[in-house]
Structure 1
């Protein structure tokens, strides 16, 4: 018996939004899971395939947009957790990436 879909929503805080590099990172991560994964600007859709870089880039999601994820399959929960974490880390770009890597921010000595 199949479990119901796993869902989550998160705001894009990356200053440049979901542009080309983040879209590639998001789709590459989504493709690493067997689950069927979709995303949308609204919890009611329309939903697009999160594994399609062309469709994800076509969203042109700006900073401040809310991304809604849904996933269904054996590894759906792990997929949603990792995708939300990627968005939370600003797609590993900018200051969040430096902090995650243990690099001090400019002006801060460790």
Structure 2
């Protein structure tokens, strides 16, 4: 196998941006690859380790921000493809379901007075 350097850029469409839950999902996914994965707001950097949840959360990337990825390693293409797909899927957050879940949670406590 040969080592590759792969680059990609993708816009965040998640309404809440890259907040805590998506940051955890992104870093967990990045850690499943041997490749060194970095991300930045601009191709000129500064670059951060995509496997560090603290650094990813510190980006505070809002909706509409463009994330630039660079991965180096034998599985770099797979890492970039998976991370780009996660961002495209809004980090697998179900925004409609969250609103419905919040409404159910507010009323779910009723009737348990026992």
TM-score (norm 2): 0.80
> 2-side partners of 1:34 and 1:4: how far apart?
12
Deviation at 1:4, TM superposition (A): 4.4
Aligned-pair Cα RMSD in Å: 1.8
- Tell me, yes or no, if structure 1 residue 89 matches structure 2 residue 89: yes
Residues 49-105 of structure 1: per-residue CA shift (max 9 Å, x gap): 0000000000000000000000000100000000000000000012599xxxxxxxx
> 2-side partners of 1:34 and 1:13: how far apart?
27
Which structure 1 residue ranges, 5 or more long, are not aligned? 98-110
> 2-side partners of 1:26 and 1:20: how far apart?
10
Distance 1:96 1:30, change over 3 A: farther
Conserved 8 A contact 1:86-1:92: yes
Q: What is the match of residue 37 of structure 1?
A: 37
Bigger CA radius of gyration: 2
Q: What is the match of residue 105 of structure 2?
A: none
- Tell me, yes or no, if structure 1 residue 10 matches structure 2 residue 19: no
TM-score (norm 1): 0.83
- Alignment: residue pair count: 97
Deviation at 1:23, TM superposition (A): 0.1
Q: What is the match of residue 78 of structure 2?
A: 78
Q: What is the match of residue 60 of structure 2?
A: 60
Which structure 2 residue ranges, 5 or more long, are not aligned? 98-114
Deviation at 1:32, TM superposition (A): 0.3
